[in-house]
Amino acid sequence: MASTIGEARYRLAARFRAAGSETPALDARLLVEGAVGRSRAEDGGAMLGEAAASILNGYCERRLAGEPVWRILGEREFWGLTFRLSLATLEPRPDTETLVEAVLETMASRRNEALSVLDLGTGTGCLLVAILSEFAQAKGLGVDLSSEACETAAANAVANGVGARAEFRQGDWLGGVDGIFDLIVSNPPYIPASEIAGLAPAVRDHDPRLALDGGDDGLDPYRILARELPARLAPGGLIVLEIGAGQERDVVALMRQAGLRYLGARNDLGGHPRALRFAGEA
């Protein structure tokens, strides 16, 4: 039976609600926009059409099977920019924008400098691309263990207008990376391996384990970073690291033992320490 866009959105939300979705109306709106286009979705009285109805039906089945909305759509917004996802990339999340906020707050006086930026574990490239969009003279390098993630990040940099200032390289942390950097950022894997099975299905079943598993205690990547970052930070430079819940004390201790100065945390949307800032020795 033919239906309008508004009717389709209403029925979709009802199905999601019955299935126990926490955000049925939002899920329905986003999937309808993905099927027909954002501008057309605003006209709720317009007819859906057979092709769009078929696409939307497929979206609905995938959502009811537990696949996250943004994975279905294949992209997600971060810092007002759009990032394509792949099976090798973590889905960018709003809390990670806290790192960009911490960078802007701490380096406000250097917005117009030709800074060198390093993003370790770049994934979609969201951190590096967002930072380059705010620092117009900066250039950056994103490193990821996954070659597919690097390809995705490079495409995202081009799509968001910073491709000429961004390079992406497959590598294991700083292996093969030369030089020093004014700004180093990282959202490393920090989930203890034993806790991954208990994560929400949207994360456990759809985000790559490589981007989640931080070893037995979740701190293995920070031990590597503590060992390698001090020698790669330029004088007056800044390091900003994302952490998980309850990890501030341990990560700060590791970095201080490596000779870095702790400049404090910036809290995420839930009020928890999320972005830790460090500088070199005074």
**Average pLDDT over the chain, rounded to whole?**
95
The angle, 0 to 180 degrees and rounded to 10, between the axes of the packed helices 50-64 and 24-36 is 140
Asked if residue 1 has pLDDT above 80, the reply is no
231-262 pLDDT, tens digit per residue, is 999 999 999 999 999 999 999 999 999 999 99
Among 250, 243, 246, residue whose Cα is nearest residue 266:
243
Tokens for 140, please give them: 């950056």
CB 270 within 8 A of CB 95: yes
Among 79, 63, 53, 52, residue whose Cα is nearest residue 26:
63
Output the pLDDT for position 282. 61
CB 221 within 8 A of CB 193: no
Asked if residue 222 has pLDDT above 60, the reply is yes
**Confidence band for 95, pLDDT divided at 50, 70 and 90:** very high
Q: Tokens 């967002």 belong to which residue?
A: 130
Mean pLDDT of 93-108: 97
Mean pLDDT of 99-126: 97
CB 145 within 8 A of CB 117: no
Question: DSSP letters of 183-229?
Answer: EEEE----B-GGGGGGS-HHHHTTS-GGGTB--SSS-HHHHHHHHHS
Which CATH number describes the domain made up of 5-73?
1.10.8
Query: CATH 1.10.8 region(s) of the chain?
Result: 5-73
**Confidence band for 176, pLDDT divided at 50, 70 and 90:** confident
Output the pLDDT for position 113. 97
Query: CATH 3.40.50.150 region(s) of the chain?
Result: 80-279
CATH superfamily to which 80-279 belongs: Vaccinia Virus protein VP39 (3.40.50.150)
Q: Please state the pTM of the whole predicted model.
A: 0.94
Q: HSE-up of 7 (CA within 13 Å, CB side)?
A: 10
23 in helix, strand or coil? coil
Asked if residue 102 has pLDDT above 70, the reply is yes
193-220 pLDDT, tens digit per residue, is 999 999 988 899 999 999 999 999 999 9
Mean pLDDT of 43-59: 92
